[in-house]
């Protein structure tokens, strides 16, 4: 049985594929970004939040002055441990991908709804900066009371 997270991811990928094939025929960059988050419980009563964002150019022209900003991580809930919540690149060639990651820490328990990251880029034929957004993330349940995993039972259920 496919869970809700898998259904959302599959739907987003299929939609992006159809949109990207439509825009790929135009002489312009088509920027797609995929945002992933991983939670790791620390022994100190806090949770490490690792964020990685992959930015793809699926169009037929280079994107210039590419900048990524992911500033939905409020300082009242999260502390930046490593990296930055923004990054820029001079260019993003056709068919290429760039990645950015950073790590946060939180000791505030609760549900957190993050916004998509914003990617801005320039097309030589247009004066205005263009914008794209990353895929959204599911709500994060920070420091949630989780039942211990029963890994051996999971293995035996696949037999």
Give 76-93 pLDDT, tens digit per residue.
Answer: 999 999 999 999 999 999
Q: What pLDDT does 27 receive? A: 85
What are the residues whose beta carbons fall under 8 Å from the beta carbon of 81, sequence distance 6 or more? 48, 103, 104, 105
The answer to whether position 158 is within a domain reads no
**CATH value at residue 110:** 2.60.40.10
Q: What pLDDT does 8 receive? A: 63
Tally helices (H) and strands (E) across the chain: 2, 10
| Distances in whole angstroms, Cα of residue 54 to Cα of each of 11, 68, 156 | 18, 10, 36
Domain range holding 119? 4-144
Name the pTM for this structure: 0.75
Domain count, the chain: 1
**Helix (H, G, I), strand (E, B), or coil: what is residue 134?**
strand
pLDDT tens-digit series, residues 109-136 = 999 999 999 999 999 888 899 999 999 9
The answer to whether position 152 is within a domain reads no
pLDDT < 70 positions in the chain = 1-26, 146-159
């Amino acid at each position: 049985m496919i869970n809700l997270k898998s259904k959302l991811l599959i739907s987003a990928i299929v939609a992006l594929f159809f949109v990207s094939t439509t825009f790929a025929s135009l002489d312009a960059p088509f920027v797609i970004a995929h945002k992933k988050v991983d939670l790791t419980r620390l022994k100190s009563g806090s949770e490490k939040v690792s964020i990685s964002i992959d930015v793809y150019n699926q169009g037929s022209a280079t994107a210039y002055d590419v900048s990524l900003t992911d500033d939905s991580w409020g300082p009242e809930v999260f502390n930046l441990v490593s990296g930055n919540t923004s990054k820029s690149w001079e260019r993003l060639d056709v068919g290429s991908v760039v990645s950015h990651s950073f790590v946060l820490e939180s000791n505030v328990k609760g549900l957190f709804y993050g916004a998509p990251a914003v990617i801005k880029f320039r097309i030589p034929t247009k004066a205005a900066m263009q914008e794209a957004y990353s895929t959204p993330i599911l709500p994060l349940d920070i420091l949630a009371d989780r039942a211990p995993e029963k890994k051996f039972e999971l293995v035996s259920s696949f037999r």
